[in-house]
Chains A and B, each alone.
Chain A
Amino acid sequence: MTTQRTTGRRKQAVAAAAVVAALLSTAACGGGNDDDGGSKNGAAGYDAANNKVAQASLAKKGGTLKFAGAQDADSWDTTRGYYGMAWNFMRYYSRQLVTNKPEPGAKGAEITPDLATSTAKITNNDKTYTYTLRDGITWEDGKPITSKDIKYGIERVWAQDVLSGGPVYLKDVLDPKGEYKGPYKDTSKDKLGLKAIETPDDKTIVFNLPAANSDFEEMLAMTSASPVRQDKDTKSKYGLKPFSSGPYKFQSYTPNKSLTLVRNENWKQSSDPVRKAYPDKITLTLFTNANDMDQRLINGDYDLDINQTGLSPQGRTTALKEHKGNLDNPVSGYIRYAVFPQTVKPFDNEHCRKAVIYGADHESLQTARGGPVAGGDIGTNMLPPSVPGSEGQKYDPYEMAGANKKGNVAKAKEELKACGKPNGFKTTIAVRNNKPVEVATAESLQASLKKVGITVDIDQYDGAQSSGIIGSPSNVKKKGYGIIIMGWGPDFPSVQGYGLPLWHSKYILESGNNNFAMIDDKTIDGLFGDYVKELDDAKKEQIATEINHKVMEGGYYLPFVFEKFINWRSNRLANVYTTDGYSGQYDFVNLGLKK
């Protein structure tokens, strides 16, 4: 086996790719078509689909929509997938009671009824949610979708031992004590033993929450709440061929190779207010060479990147130069940041944390992330712009995008003094070895901190093992990881869907921990408590803002950027728009083709 070679040569490979890219941009790509502006048959224009709909009228029925990708979904099982792009894509073959609105930008994060006739009737002190199902909703074999199918689909979340990997919000909210053992261990005859959900008839489903949660409907909008028919549940292998409730069904799927969806003839447009289902066929081809994939996108062989994580540097350069009209530059919903575990000295002292925040050169960190376009705006706080309650760069407590853009040495020294370390200190940055950009930011941070007297070592750990390495607080303490470089995006667009695992004391876990800062703040916990009880959107936003402020004031985080991507959209695509419902990705399910 020659595997060691590949990893050992990654740097060389990158260098070689860069050389090739340089050759390419000079030699290849015959005739840069002038598609900067919007035109009927050409590209819609730069940022034309960012938070707005591009070429909606040009969408026609039929054709094959071709996705390319460098990374397959973690699972296509609606219960098990956790990748944003997978949730987005799953809407092709799965429907939910409610779902994200098929509209661009912030509107896309709102909830709209899907299988249900309307959003929930909330009663019983906000603890009971009742839905009525539409008529004409069917499975791919033509049988109607019943409330029991929905209940069974949701129950599958409880079978974490078999169906691991997906989000467990519903389980935590509906059964916080973990009394139900999941449908596979369910002793009741119909396997519908979960008490919190009632199905009085096939058209009605009732959720009884032990405690109110204002984001409950957001959670139901996630694909993990999709119906699954018990007789079609192949358990751990369900992701290889999910049984469709949406407009498309699986024709073939080979993991890490390809996926083909074809029309589900039993789906009725009339029963579905969300999905336009323009193309006849949807294919996904998986690549191992990201540069090759980008080239093929640019060449027009494929329509878009399913991963929606932006073009690789080479492809980006070419595309920005010659095909700017095919690009969108949305905010991804991710924040890239450094976090300071309080368990590692001297970061138990907030002044030492703030010293790092002040000492960092935010502009060079942004550059390391890819600059303002490919990397994103300088992050000034910890709430992504796509989450309600966010203020974006307007809230900048440490003036990171302002006066202290290049770092404030004096202020940093002041904080060091306050921390009792006037001459600085030594610590270690933990960074994933499989993310070159993160390594670059670590190096940038290292350089700027040196100026204020903070010496840091960079420890590149196995990125595939992050949950075991930095997800273990005892390991973090042992290794002395004072600074951890990470990124986080919302599971659903709310402060709960984003910040709960990061900031709530309950989420300090022995392994798989994400509260790296080890924040155990009664105020923050309390604000989350208030949030879940508040149904009013305006007030929810207010609480979200407040949580964000509290987190920032504690100096636990050094945000780098509000991440942005440069995503490719082919000339063939119509009705394209990004949605905050899926962190700035295009809304896959309503993409159409022009011809």
Chain B
Amino acid sequence: MIVGHRKTSGGPRSAAGPRAVLAYLIRRLFAAAVMLVVIILVVFCIFFLVPRWAGVDPATMFVGKQADPGAIEAVRQKLGLGEPIFVQVWEFFKGLFVGRTYAAGGDVTNCAAPCFGYSFRNEQAIWPVLTDRFPVTLALALGAAVLWLLFGVAAGVLSALKRGTLWDRSAMVVALAGVSLPIYFTGLLSLAIFSYGLGWLDAQYVPLEESFGGWFGGMILPWVTLAFLYAAMYARITRATMLEVMGEDYIRTARAKGLREPVVIGKHAMRSAMTPVLTMLGMDLGALIGGAILTETTFSLPGLGQAVLKAISDKDLPVILGVTLITSLAVIIANLVVDILYAVIDPRVRLA
């Protein structure tokens, strides 16, 4: 999805000054914009053309039990479904910048400037829905990321250093379990034990603005469950890269200098081992920000994933489109950040 970074060896270093970084950012953002346009087109095609081929009229999905042909026609008109697809796409893009007005049957609906569309299912503009739900998903993803990085990386490093020991084996068995158990299983299980059973945690979402304690308490189980899955993956990848890195010549060099083992590991090995971890983190965070559907569903967290799941079952295209855009944007931004961090970590990476 993202243009890969280039490694160079030898040759003088390019002036990776602020200007170069800025130029790089602009280039990448431009590429991201192109990507988003393509994604919008594809989603449009899927949700507008495919039902048509399947002989289903999206408009009928918006009317009630006793479909009134007039009502169907009105919905079609309001949604602009009668327009050719490129007109619809154009209207959508225009709406992003100047807002949009939907009018039909004497009813006028305004959708303010960053108009990501309007859900007629819920009579809501998409943008407020996204901004309402995005923080929940972001908090879930970031909180879990902190946990899984802490525990996953630590477990992976320990396993690598104590390769073949009981600790290593048991950690890897747990990691395997974490990787292979689906989140709805671990999620339901943790709910069953800690929330319903022992009653330690009330895993219910409480908005942050209502009470920090409640919010935090409600987020613990989702964080831990999600982190468990990812920590397992991170432990495995960290272990593998650590093993690889520990075999590198420069680790031997570091030891030959007389460095203490903790310094060899902490300063020399970890920094290299973090590169693949960072790559994964970028992808995972991006994907999670797009909606941790399973986690959000299991714990009834009102995040983007839940919104998109509902939207899909409702065939609520505007919401799907909006979430898809946000997801894509999140993935692109996460990758961009990772690429820049790459350059910080690994001087061989030139921002090109």
**Any chain A CB within 8 A of the CB of B28?**
no
> Contacts A164-B63, A288-B306, A465-B61: A6 and B192 contacting too (C-beta < 8 A)?
no
Q: Who on chain B is nearest to A17 by CB?
A: B188
Q: Determine whether the beta carbon of A6 is less than 8 Å from that of B297.
A: yes
- Chain A residues near B324 (CB-CB < 8 A): 1
CA separation between A17 and B313, bound complex, in Å? 20
Q: Who on chain B is nearest to A295 by CB?
A: B196
> Contacts A3-B308, A160-B70, A256-B122: A17 and B193 contacting too (C-beta < 8 A)?
no
Q: Determine whether the beta carbon of A3 is less than 8 Å from that of B309.
A: yes
**Any chain A CB within 8 A of the CB of B226?**
no
Q: Determine whether the beta carbon of A288 is less than 8 Å from that of B309.
A: yes
- Chain B residues near A239 (CB-CB < 8 A): 123
CA separation between A301 and B62, bound complex, in Å? 34
**What is the size, in residues, of chain B's interface with A at 8 Å between Cβ atoms?**
67
**Any chain B CB within 8 A of the CB of A124?**
no
Digitize B128-171: 1 where CB-to-A-CB distance is under 8 Å, 0 elsewhere: 00001000000000000000000000000000000000000000
Q: Determine whether the beta carbon of A27 is less than 8 Å from that of B60.
A: no
**Any chain A CB within 8 A of the CB of B67?**
yes
CA separation between A258 and B106, bound complex, in Å? 30
- Chain A residues near B310 (CB-CB < 8 A): 256, 288
**Any chain B CB within 8 A of the CB of A9?**
yes
- Which residues, 275 to 311 on B, are CB-close (under 8 Å) to A? 287, 290-291, 293-294, 296-300, 302, 306-310
Q: Determine whether the beta carbon of A161 is less than 8 Å from that of B300.
A: no
**What is the size, in residues, of chain A's interface with B at 8 Å between Cβ atoms?**
71
Q: Determine whether the beta carbon of A28 is less than 8 Å from that of B196.
A: yes
The tally of CB-CB contacts under 8 A between chains A and B is: 195
Most buried by A among B185, B287, B315: B185
- Chain B residues near A178 (CB-CB < 8 A): 70
- Chain A residues near B66 (CB-CB < 8 A): 167-168, 501, 512, 514
Q: Determine whether the beta carbon of A28 is less than 8 Å from that of B107.
A: no
**Any chain A CB within 8 A of the CB of B47?**
no
In-complex Cβ contact of B299 among A184, A235, A289 (8 A): A289
- Chain A residues near B204 (CB-CB < 8 A): 296, 301
CA separation between A284 and B191, bound complex, in Å? 21
- Chain A residues near B182 (CB-CB < 8 A): 9, 12-13, 16
**Chain B residues near A (Cβ < 8 Å):** 55-57, 60-75, 78, 104-107, 109, 120, 122-124, 132, 182, 184-185, 188-189, 191-193, 195-197, 199, 202, 204, 287, 290-291, 293-294, 296-300, 302, 306-310, 312-315, 323-324, 327
22 A–B pairs (Cβ distance < 8 Å), ordered by A: A1-B290, A1-B327, A3-B293, A3-B308, A159-B105, A159-B106, A160-B70, A161-B105, A165-B62, A168-B68, A236-B120, A286-B300, A288-B296, A288-B300, A465-B61, A468-B60, A471-B67, A511-B57, A511-B67, A511-B72, A512-B66, A514-B65
- Pairs A-B, 9 closest by C-beta atoms: A161-B74, A512-B67, A184-B106, A161-B105, A28-B197, A165-B64, A255-B122, A160-B71, A20-B188
